[in-house]
Amino acid sequence: MSAPTSPTPDSKDKNARPLPEKLCGKRILITGGTGTTGQHLIQWLQSETDAEEIIVYSRDEQKHHDLQLNNGIDLSRVRSFIGDVRDIDQLKVAMSGVSLVFHTAAMKHVHLAEEHPIEAHKTNVLGTRNVIEAAIDCKVNRVISSSTDKAVDPINVYGNTKFMMELELMGADRENKDVTRFDIVRHGNLIGSRGSVIPLFIQQAKAGCMTLTYPAMTRFWIGKEELIDSFHRCLMESEGGEIHVPRSPACRIDVLATAIDAEADQEVLGIRAGEKKHEVLTSLHESSRLRDCGTHLVIRREPAVKDERGTAVEDDFQLRSDLEPQLEIAQMQLLLQSEGLSG
């Protein structure tokens, strides 16, 4: 299999979302790189940046195999590295000579985390601590981690582990800012991510019936380009110790199901353990540290004495999925189509 050629320097799209000058031509590692977010990051890095090498760190051998058979992957720049974030020694080997880490590895299925809380803690919390220690030991310049709306006011195991992950990263930035800078991109549900409800609904629609836990449930939805924009913006603009929150459209779950297939039946099962009716991307206690920049919000580790980005928010501000404008069926269909998804 021949690898596709990289974009030429005079390509129209070359460096549309480039790396910061300090990181140009450097080696980059993505934990959980064989997952959906990781693959979007790979596509961006290999097509729009001059990253020397993109190291894909993941414990899933089959996904590494599939990645290497993907004609869209430039194997001259993308390297598979089998390893688990629970293994700090392997992380240190993988991070040798790396300047930037995107940390996306996680145990993320809510119901499985409820059934196996210790395992979720080992990966999402202790695994993050390993990423932090390895990054500092290897003198990595930047670490940007992927978080979720479920980390805000958490009610389930998964949300609590991601909340702890955020605290670990903010503490690491405070204590080691002269060595490595740590930031977070906290976002809603990635459209089409592996194991999420949209692929499930599309599959169920073929059988004529979709299963909903609660029809009026609302969620934030983010597309792959908006997600990459968020990572890139955080990489370019963050001063360290920040949480960047992209504004994303919200939609009721029954509207989503109808947008996928209006003819399929909708069976209501009832809310599962650990499942929220609505999601929140910012909490009340973060309002004093939050700046509204229009397309996104920035949460600083500490209240800013002076911050020229965006505007301050009211003390009772929260970015909640049930309080945001809701997408209608036709709008949700257009969003699905833009991501290459349909029923």
DSSP string, 52-63: SEEEEEES-HHH
Q: Cβ-count burial of 79 within 10 angstroms (0-12 exposed, 13-18 middle, 19+ buried)?
A: middle
Closest CA to 321 of 227, 221, 186: 221
CA distance 128 to 298: 22
In whole angstroms, give the CA distance from residue 252 to residue 326.
7
Alpha carbons 124 and 159: distance in angstroms, whole number = 10
Look at the block and give the residue holding tokens 């009716």.
Answer: 277
If you search the block for the tokens 């990054």, which residue do you land on?
135
Max CA-CA distance within the chain? 58
Whole-angstrom Cα distance, residue 308 to residue 135?
Answer: 30
Residues annotated as part of the active site: 150
100 within 8 A of 24, measured Cβ to Cβ: no
Q: Cα–Cα distances in Å, from 210 out to 65, 202, 254, 256, 258?
A: 32, 8, 10, 11, 10
